[in-house]
A and B are shown apart, each in its own frame.
Chain A
Amino acid sequence: MNDKLMDLRFTVNGKPYELKVKPKALLLDVLREDLKLTGTRTGCEVSACGACTVNIDGMAARSCSILALQANGREVTTIEGVADGDKLHPIQQAMVDHGAIECGFCTSGMVMSARALLAENPKPTREEIKKAIQGNMCADSGYAKYIEAIEIAAAKLRGGE
């Protein structure tokens, strides 16, 4: 096994990091094991469930299928970097208020997919919302309340609040 460590320089939740990582290390494992950011969940390990979704340079990405070194020089945002201190992001607030969350295991990924969507498209149609979270599997919410929560959050963000 080639365990030669390599340099990784990237920004996570606004904070610069310099790490030494194995070339085969996945971004997901570096976030969870090295940076202890366990809010990004390990679900299916094959890019199918979306529980590990983070934002890289603002775009939604599955951290289970990206080598940590591919994030070199990039800006990564995880669920821990979404709220403004104690104040929830409007997407988070809408999911809480609208009762979208059940077991919560998919929630981090849902928030990160929605965040990437609304950054790019402030007024998404219902179809566009479904497309954005199509890669986020949820076992128990039935998606409907997540979809509605994202609509509520989009409206609120457009309102400039």
Chain B
Amino acid sequence: MVETFGEYSIIGKPIRRVDAKLKVTGQAKYAADIEVANMLWGFVKRSPHAHARILNIDTSKAEKLPGVKAIITGKDFNGFKWGWSNPTRDEEPLATTKVRYLYEGVAAVAAIDKDTAEEACDLIEVEYEPLPGVFTPFEAMNEGAPLVHENRPGNITVEYHWNFGDTEKAFAESYLVREDTFQTPRMAKGYIEPPATVAYWPDPNRLVFIGAKGSPYFPYRILSRCFKLPLSNVRIIAPFIGCDFGGTKNDMTNGDFSAVMLAKKAGRPVKIVASQFDTLTTDLRRHPMWITMKTGVTKDGILTGIHNKIVSDGGAYTRMSPLTHFLTGICMGMPYHLPNFKHDVTCYFTNNPSSAAMRGHGIYHTTFARECQMDMIADELGIDRVEIRHRNLIKNPEPGTIYETINGVHIATAGTEECLTKVAAAVKWEERKKKERVKGNKAYGMGFATGTYLSGTQLSAHNACAAIVRVCEDGTVNYLTGATDVGMGSDTVGSAIVAEVLGITIDDVDIKRVDTAYTPADPGSYGSRVTVLAGEAAINAAEDAKQQLREVAAKQLGAMQDEIVFKNRQVFVKSNHARSIPWERLVRMACYDAPGRVIIGRGHSKRSTDLHTLADFSTGRGDIGTNYSFTAQAAQVEVDVETGVVRCTEDNNVIAHDCGFPLNTQAVETQVLGGSYHQGVSAALYEEFKMDKGLTLNPNFVDYKRPRAYEAPMTEVIHVITNDPFGPFGAKEASEGSTCSAPPAIINAIHDATGVWIKDLPAEPEKVYWALKEKKEKEQKKKKK
């Protein structure tokens, strides 16, 4: 148990980020800033076809270019294939026989500078036989459609069919059954830092790889297999990372493999930095999905059942699709009580760049559909839109009790009711709903949505999460974790936890970037797992170190061990604070009095595993999270009814979220504002890759629209505290849940303002304009009749 002894000293308050000074002065090194002696530049040769057989690759001209030091093709990898899990290893480091998406890498060059490497790539001659391709899942599912992978009939990447209760019976007995189709678009992950890698081989059996990786232990395992190296000899170092949001910085790119192979071949370090064009044409994207949701309700608006039918575009390779599509359904039993549930989801291969995880992974798609449809149902039944949600919400379980969803997900805390009550009050919904919506050529509307997200992802075979706390003889502490801070602030919260447990200051704690040579194995940053799991590991490691020190303190102070308290850099007896030793002195005694003693604490995360059952992908039953966050939010929009332009108003945008207990209130707020609300605005109103037969038409930040300062609402954030028993100090994830609830809140607000439904994101001006025009024409026809 964590010693709380009154108030917390550090956590639960605004904590200044441990890396803020390095970042604000430009000293923080990202992968592209890394330079090592004797380094070469690499460049990747890419395919001009979205689907083609590779007949021949001729590198002879490139080899003769002065300054070229190494050239590789896919054949150098000797048939190696990789993927998310063993059965899905379907991708080569560089394509050898066939390219499956436009700009897939086929060869690479290392040279003395970037220009020479690029020029040499132009000199590589590749002979292709273009093949007909499939560019939407609907083309891919046609009988006789070209196959993206010859051994995958029907172009099916992954499919799940789950059934809980009896939806057909529920629909038959329902007062109202609605079926609507919603569409979510292909989106960029949104990081501004393009992936970059520096690789070198200190000796022929040892690899060092410094890359922008949010999950450094993915490349650790993949490169070990690829280059037949023992794990002990694979050293992955994470520099600072300019965001990830899932996907490309979790696993590998053509450039990552190429840098390593080129460095091996050239016998020199090689650096490859992707351009933003590479990033926006070849990096992983959010899956576009077509979600048909059939929902039954009673006359009072109580949910009786939901049946989802989802079609999804997975792109050229499997990547993380098995997890994405599992996540579309696993949390459907929250935040509303759902007695019957059926889920049919199929993802197809296409000749588009691969799709993968993105903030709100999977859950984002079905939350959008459900929350919009909830408003449609409310309107049809004449029930207030906030009220219908309250009628269905799962109540916060009494302390010590657990709510189990229909598919066996366990919830100990759920603050959604309080969240919804607070946002509705904050925007004065009861007054506002009666007000006139249209003022001149502008219409104003308010929308609500709730959401949930898993935290502390539990996946079989990939759960290791540990920490090491090394107490130095001067009282400073090295905290080692494999968890990677990609920008969200986990380095700060981990350091704060260690300082809190040891009763010292955060300045006493040093954390370094992940280095697989020293830090414990960890799955990395995804699935909102870091704070919950790495946070618990940090508590356990710090407690272990503290216990070693407590034994020394008890002896010195002549007290029982359980009487010893660590607080404010003092160690004292609970019943008599005057009997104390300063922290530094105690540490020095501990390190010096017994020859050979070194204070090293270790711990791992384990709290949830007793109760929870690991999720079963084939049935959709079980726990994917350690605990679950909940959100309710209100969005206000202004719609220009002449042009269709929608913007969020500066005020009246409120999120209330239940992250259990915010460990760093300041970081949580910034995360919720930017990492979720702002990204939600972006998904609702702006972002979409426009495609033409595998070609990305807007692969730059001029044509690919994302919100900027003008489009940023000054959102209000309300923390709802539920103290989850499975989280460190009661914490759950913060802000992935609100990424999911923002788009439907905004679409619902557009409907509230104008009466039109935009069921395919984003709500671009043209879409809104035509929808408004269609509505007007219908109304005029009605009048004439």
Q: Which residues of A contact B (CB under 8 A)?
A: 1, 32, 36-49, 51, 78-80, 82-83, 88, 92, 95-97, 99-108, 111, 129-131, 133-147
Cβ A143 vs Cβ B192 within 8 A = no
Among A37, A41, A80, A140, the one with the most B-chain Cβ atoms within 10 Å of its Cβ is A140
Cβ B678 vs Cβ A142 within 8 A = yes
Q: Which residue of A lies closest to B672 (CB)?
A: A142
Segment at the interface with A among B237-245, B260-268, B410-418, B541-549: B237-245
Cβ A103 vs Cβ B241 within 8 A = yes
Cβ B27 vs Cβ A106 within 8 A = no
In Å, the complex CA distance between A42 and B114 comes to: 15
Cβ A137 vs Cβ B23 within 8 A = no
Q: Which residue of B lies closest to A127 (CB)?
A: B710
Contacts of B706 in A (CB 8 A): 137
Contacts of A38 in B (CB 8 A): 26, 29, 32-33
Q: Does B702 contact A (CB under 8 A)?
A: yes
Cβ A140 vs Cβ B675 within 8 A = yes
Cβ A48 vs Cβ B701 within 8 A = yes
Q: Which residue of A lies closest to B678 (CB)?
A: A142
Among A96, A104, A130, A147, the one with the most B-chain Cβ atoms within 10 Å of its Cβ is A104
Q: Does B4 contact A (CB under 8 A)?
A: no
In Å, the complex CA distance between A42 and B192 comes to: 9
Contacts of A83 in B (CB 8 A): 25
**Which of B32, B119, B700, B712 has a CB less than 8 Å from the CB of A46?**
B700
Q: Does B190 contact A (CB under 8 A)?
A: yes
**Which of A37, A45, A79, A104 has a CB less than 8 Å from the CB of B276?**
A45
Least CB distance from A46 to B in Å reads: 5
Contacts of A95 in B (CB 8 A): 20, 24
Q: Does B126 contact A (CB under 8 A)?
A: no
Cβ B25 vs Cβ A88 within 8 A = yes
Q: Which residue of A lies closest to B20 (CB)?
A: A96
30 sampled A-B residue pairs with Cβ under 8 A:
A39-B26, A40-B26, A41-B32, A41-B193, A48-B700, A95-B20, A99-B14, A99-B666, A99-B670, A100-B670, A102-B488, A104-B240, A104-B487, A105-B30, A105-B193, A106-B192, A130-B709, A133-B708, A134-B708, A136-B708, A136-B709, A137-B706, A139-B674, A140-B243, A142-B673, A142-B712, A144-B712, A144-B715, A147-B709, A147-B712
Q: Which residue of A lies closest to B242 (CB)?
A: A105
Contacts of B670 in A (CB 8 A): 99-100, 102, 141-142, 145
Cβ A39 vs Cβ B27 within 8 A = yes
Contacts of A96 in B (CB 8 A): 16-17, 20-21, 24
In Å, the complex CA distance between A86 and B193 comes to: 27
Q: Does B205 contact A (CB under 8 A)?
A: no
**Which of A45, A78, A134 has a CB less than 8 Å from the CB of B26?**
A78
Ranked nearest first, the 10 interchain pairs of A and B with the lowest CB-CB distance are A39-B26, A103-B487, A142-B674, A104-B23, A105-B242, A79-B26, A142-B678, A99-B666, A142-B673, A48-B701
Contacts of B241 in A (CB 8 A): 103
Interface residues as binary, B704-719 with A (CB distance below 8 Å gives 1, 0 otherwise) = 0010111011110000
Cβ B23 vs Cβ A44 within 8 A = no
Q: Does B115 contact A (CB under 8 A)?
A: yes
In Å, the complex CA distance between A104 and B30 comes to: 10
Cβ A49 vs Cβ B192 within 8 A = yes
In Å, the complex CA distance between A92 and B17 comes to: 13
In Å, the complex CA distance between A18 and B700 comes to: 34
In Å, the complex CA distance between A1 and B122 comes to: 14
Cβ A42 vs Cβ B24 within 8 A = no
In Å, the complex CA distance between A24 and B679 comes to: 37
Cβ A105 vs Cβ B192 within 8 A = yes
In Å, the complex CA distance between A95 and B715 comes to: 18
Least CB distance from B189 to A in Å reads: 9
Least CB distance from B200 to A in Å reads: 19
Q: Does B769 contact A (CB under 8 A)?
A: no
Least CB distance from A112 to B in Å reads: 10
In Å, the complex CA distance between A54 and B613 comes to: 53
In Å, the complex CA distance between A143 and B713 comes to: 9
Q: Which residue of A lies closest to B193 (CB)?
A: A105
Q: Which residues of B contact A (CB under 8 A)?
A: 14, 16-17, 19-30, 32-33, 35, 115, 119, 190-194, 240-243, 245, 273, 275-277, 486-489, 666-667, 669-671, 673-675, 677-679, 700-702, 706, 708-710, 712-715
Cβ A104 vs Cβ B674 within 8 A = no
Contacts of A36 in B (CB 8 A): 35
19 further A-B contacts with Cβ under 8 Å, apart from A97-B16, A105-B242, are: A39-B26, A41-B242, A45-B276, A49-B276, A51-B192, A88-B21, A88-B24, A92-B24, A96-B17, A102-B671, A103-B486, A105-B30, A105-B191, A105-B487, A108-B26, A140-B487, A142-B674, A143-B674, A143-B708
In Å, the complex CA distance between A80 and B28 comes to: 11
**Which of A39, A144, A145 has a CB less than 8 Å from the CB of B25?**
A39
In Å, the complex CA distance between A131 and B708 comes to: 10
Q: Which residue of B lies closest to A22 (CB)?
A: B115
Contact A141 to B674, CB < 8 A, known contacts A46-B276, A104-B242, A107-B23: yes
Q: Which residue of A lies closest to B714 (CB)?
A: A144
Cβ A111 vs Cβ B242 within 8 A = no
Cβ B243 vs Cβ A139 within 8 A = yes
Contacts of B277 in A (CB 8 A): 45
In Å, the complex CA distance between A106 and B26 comes to: 10
Q: Which residue of A lies closest to B676 (CB)?
A: A142
Cβ A139 vs Cβ B276 within 8 A = no
Contacts of B701 in A (CB 8 A): 43-44, 46, 48-49, 137
In Å, the complex CA distance between A51 and B279 comes to: 16
In Å, the complex CA distance between A143 and B714 comes to: 9
In Å, the complex CA distance between A1 and B706 comes to: 36
Q: Which residue of B lies closest to A95 (CB)?
A: B24
Cβ A137 vs Cβ B192 within 8 A = yes
In Å, the complex CA distance between A46 and B192 comes to: 12
Among A38, A44, A49, A103, the one with the most B-chain Cβ atoms within 10 Å of its Cβ is A103
Contact A101 to B273, CB < 8 A, known contacts A38-B33, A41-B30, A48-B702: no
Contacts of B25 in A (CB 8 A): 39, 79-80, 82-83, 88, 92
Q: Which residue of B lies closest to A43 (CB)?
A: B192
Cβ B674 vs Cβ A102 within 8 A = yes
Least CB distance from A60 to B in Å reads: 14
Contacts of B240 in A (CB 8 A): 103-104
Contacts of A78 in B (CB 8 A): 26
Among A36, A43, A111, the one with the most B-chain Cβ atoms within 10 Å of its Cβ is A43
Contacts of B276 in A (CB 8 A): 43-46, 49
Cβ B710 vs Cβ A134 within 8 A = yes
Q: Which residue of B lies closest to A92 (CB)?
A: B24
In Å, the complex CA distance between A145 and B22 comes to: 18
Contacts of B190 in A (CB 8 A): 139
Q: Which residue of B lies closest to A99 (CB)?
A: B666
Cβ B24 vs Cβ A45 within 8 A = no
Contacts of B16 in A (CB 8 A): 96-97, 99
Contacts of B674 in A (CB 8 A): 102, 138-145
Cβ B28 vs Cβ A99 within 8 A = no
Cβ B24 vs Cβ A139 within 8 A = no
Contacts of B708 in A (CB 8 A): 133-137, 143
Least CB distance from B31 to A in Å reads: 11
Least CB distance from B81 to A in Å reads: 32
Least CB distance from B349 to A in Å reads: 29
Contact A145 to B673, CB < 8 A, known contacts A45-B276, A48-B700: yes
**Which of A47, A101, A105 has a CB less than 8 Å from the CB of B243?**
A105
Cβ B192 vs Cβ A102 within 8 A = no
Contacts of B191 in A (CB 8 A): 103, 105, 139
Cβ B115 vs Cβ A1 within 8 A = yes
Contacts of B487 in A (CB 8 A): 102-105, 140
Cβ A99 vs Cβ B700 within 8 A = no
In Å, the complex CA distance between A144 and B188 comes to: 22
Among B17, B23, B273, the one with the most A-chain Cβ atoms within 10 Å of its Cβ is B23
**Which of A45, A131, A137, A138 has a CB less than 8 Å from the CB of B275?**
A45
In Å, the complex CA distance between A101 and B669 comes to: 12
Q: Which residue of A lies closest to B30 (CB)?
A: A105
In Å, the complex CA distance between A79 and B245 comes to: 26
